[in-house]
Amino acid sequence: MIPKHRIIVCISGAVLLTIATANAQHAWDDPNGWWSGHFTSGKNNAQLYNAQEVSLDLFASYMNPERRFGDLFETNIRNGFWGGGAGANYFFTRELGLGADFNISSKPDDLNLVDQVTGNFIARLPLGNSGLAPYLIGSGGREMSPRWGWLYGGGVGLEMRLNPTTGIFSDARFLWSDRSTADDRLVIRAGVRLTF
C-alpha cells in the first residue's frame, strides 16, 4: 500500500503543474521574449498585475512551532527551522486568486520530507502601477510533520513586481493545527514570483 503522504505530495505536485501550465501558452509562442522579460525593468506603461495571471513561487522559509497565537512574540527564533518550497497561483481577477504551495524544512529527526501542503485564497491590492501589492492570504491544507493533521490559518504579505513577469514577495502566516496546539506554527516565506 502506498503511504498517504506520498499520495498527497503526488496529487499536490500534479495540481501545481496543472495550474502553472494552464495559462502559460504565450511563453511558448515567444520563449525568448518571455525569458528576456524577466530582466527588463517595469518602467514602461505595461500593467504589472493582470487578471488571468499564472505565477510560480520559489521561496525560502522559516517555520517556528508555536503553542498559541498569543505567544507569537515571546518565542525564541532559535526554536524554528529553515527551509523552502514552491507554489503556483492563478489570479482570475486582478485582485483575487487561488494558489497552492508546499514547504520542506530542516527538521533533523523527521522522516517526512514535506512539512505541509496548503491551498490558498489570495486577495491583493495593487497600488496603481507602482509595482507594490499588499495582500491577505487565507490557507488550509494538510500537515505531514510532526504528525498528520489538518491546518488552517492566514496572514499578510507584500509583493514588489519588478516588471510584468518578475516579482519578489514576502509573507507571514499563522497556521493552526486540528491535532494539537503544539503543532501550531508561524511560517514566514520570502522568494521570487515568476509570472506567465
CA atoms within 13 A on the CB side of 166: 11
Span 111-167, pLDDT tens digits = 678 889 999 999 999 998 899 999 999 999 999 877 888 999 999 999 999 999 999
Domains defined for the chain, CATH in brackets: 4-195 (2.40.160.20)
Alpha carbon of residue 195 to chain centroid: 13
Q: Any idea which residue has 503543532 for its cell?
A: 183
DSSP, collapsed to helix, strand or coil, labels residue 10 as helix
Whole-number Å distance between alpha carbons of 89 and 23: 11
**pLDDT given at position 108:** 62
**pLDDT given at position 160:** 97
CA atoms within 13 A on the CB side of 183: 19
Q: What residues of the chain score a pLDDT lower than 70?
A: 1-44, 67-77, 108-111
